[in-house]
Amino acid sequence: MKKFISHSEKETEKIAFELAAGIPVGSVITLDGDLGAGKTVFARGFARGLGITEAVSSPTYTIAQEYILPDKKRLYHLDLYRISSAEAGLAFGVDEFFNDPGAYALVEWPERVGDVIPDSAVKIFIRHLDENSREITLS
């Protein structure tokens, strides 16, 4: 388990940028935290760490956003806030995103699909410390 303290969005992006280099393609990465904790900020930094230069925003209404990496691999950024259950997630096809060996699957609100998340997922927890500071835990 690793812990980081971020005092700004820029620091959160930098932490995520650096973590991206150590996570292998084919991984599922879950982002767990309250509304406004910085999950999308983390996702933006992670995407930059993989070489994505286009704008990265939360796919809350589209549920999934796909980005093509410079090496032609992919990053799937999923926001499962609007998914009501594991069954609804499977009907949407989340398991296909999780099982793509040529992609990273970055998942906001993973608890919405429960047991569908692979046991091997990299788990990131983001917790408010105060208005600007966050504790980021990697397990």
Note the pLDDT tens digit of each residue in 74-90: 999 999 999 999 999 99
Integer CA distances (angstroms), 134 to 11, 12, 29, 47, 97, in order = 10, 8, 18, 19, 28
Which residue would you say has higher pLDDT here, 21 or 62?
A: 21
The pLDDT value given to residue 35 = 87
How much is the mean pLDDT over the chain?
A: 94
Model confidence at 61: pLDDT above 80: no
Q: Which of 60, 118, 116, 66 is nearest to 93 (CA)?
A: 116
User: What's the one-letter identity of residue 83?
Assistant: I
18 backbone φψ class: left, alpha, beta (φ>0; ψ -120 to 50): alpha
Model confidence at 53: pLDDT above 80: yes
Task: Give me the torsion for CA of 98, 100, 103, 105, rounded to 10°.
Answer: -10
List of E strands, the chain: 2-6, 28-32, 64-68, 74-79, 103-108, 122-128, 134-138
- In the chain, the percentage of residues whose pLDDT exceeds 70 is 100
Q: Are 78 and 64 in contact (CB under 8 A)?
A: yes
The pLDDT value given to residue 36 = 86
Looking at residues 34-43, what average pLDDT do you find? Answer: 92
Residue 22 banded pLDDT, cuts 50, 70, 90:
very high
What is the value of pTM for the model shown?
Answer: 0.93
Q: Which of 39, 9, 6 is nearest to 133 (CA)?
A: 6
Residue 114 banded pLDDT, cuts 50, 70, 90:
confident
The pLDDT value given to residue 62 = 84
